[in-house]
Amino acid sequence: MSRRSLRGRDILSINDLSREEIYTILEVAKEFKLEGKVGRRERLLEGKNLALIFAYESTRTRIGFEAAMHQLGGDCIYLPIKTMMAARGEPWKDTARVLDRIVDGVAARLLEEKAIYELAEYAEIPVINASTPTDHPVQTLGELLTILEKKGRLEGLKITYNGMTRALCHSLLLVCPKLGMDIAVSYPEVYSIDERVLEEARRNAEETGAEIILTHDLKEAVKDSDVVYDCILMRSYLAGEKVTDEDKILIEKYQITEDVMKLAKEDAIFMHPGPAFRGYEVTDDVIEGPQSVVWDEVENAFYAKKAVLALILG
């Protein structure tokens, strides 16, 4: 497919992207990574600006977008919501039309799903979801790049997701079956999975024959996995989203330890998008161990952002 087909597109959900578009983005990300190793940087977005709207703190996502834009020759304008009139009640549709006249694109991390879609509806410039409660598409592309890099393929692999049922859980549920990957989701009983996302994930699985497993039994989920993907266990630790009965989660039941990793395939990799709360969802010996690829994830998430920005804004 032509890379130009992504120009001007919104990416609000990982499910917005076809299988072919996902592989195109991953291919461009790999090219950028190779170029980065030899110090080659093309200023493809010279003179362009990306607005970064963030409802809460960020390390990897914010730095990744900012560094990617700068390497591509563009600039970022960081906009914590508390510094905007949106914090005083200005509708997102008005904010969208303001940004539309000034910047070339928007990446937004918001706590309300409807807000990202309202921004996209009223802005003609591209809008990128930089994390909402039900999706985290660009981060997910970076995770796929890491898996592809370490395993040499995506189709036919089994990934286990463990942790809270929020953005990345939903994104992986959508994209893994689309790419022919089996996925087992292990999560505490106090959480639930978005039914709309689950319906779409099952439709994707029907097309590829992939298997989806939902369970509260971590050890059962991890068996024979190629990838053990751990995420934040306590949702309130991420953005202050207190969940009813969160204090009832049995940490040891959902903690990735060396013994848990032994249930996966011998050559399985351990992944975590960060921030990792050690002693809760994962032990030090795992995240610092030989199967851990968490720092490669950081680098690959950056190149995924760079690829998305180049293809959409270029």
Closest Cα partner for 134 from 197, 211, 69, 202? Answer: 197
Strand order in the sheet with 227-230: 212-215, 182-186, 158-162, 227-230, 269-271
Query: Which ranges of the chain would DSSP assign to H, the alpha helix?
Result: 19-37, 60-71, 92-100, 113-122, 137-151, 167-178, 195-208, 218-222, 236-239, 258-261, 284-287, 294-313
Q: What are 177's two structure tokens?
A: 């079956």
Letter for the amino acid at 206?
E
How far is 95 from 281, CA to CA, in rounded Å?
A: 38
Task: Determine the pLDDT at residue 237.
Answer: 80
| CA gap 216, 243 in Å, rounded | 17
**Short-list 112, 36, 95, CA closest to 68:** 36
User: Domains in the chain, start-ordered, CATH in brackets?
Assistant: 3-135+299-313 (3.40.50.1370), 138-297 (3.40.50.1370)
Instruction: State residue 269 phi and psi, 5-degree precision.
Output: -105, 150
| 196 token code pair | 């709309």
Question: Which residue has 């809460």 as its token pair?
Answer: 56
The per-residue pLDDT for 291 is 98
Q: Which parts of the chain register pLDDT below 50? A: none
Is there a contact between 80 and 108 (Cβ–Cβ < 8 Å)?
A: no
**What is the CA 218 to chain-centroid distance, rounded?**
22
Alpha-carbon distances, residue 205 vs 127, 173, 249, 301 (angstroms): 27, 10, 30, 25
For position 2, what pLDDT does the model report? 61
Structure tokens at 28: 């461009």
Q: Is 176 helix (H, G, I), strand (E, B) or coil?
A: helix
User: Which phi and psi (to 5°) does residue 246 adopt?
Assistant: -60, -35
Nearest CA-CA partner of 70 in 41, 35, 100: 41
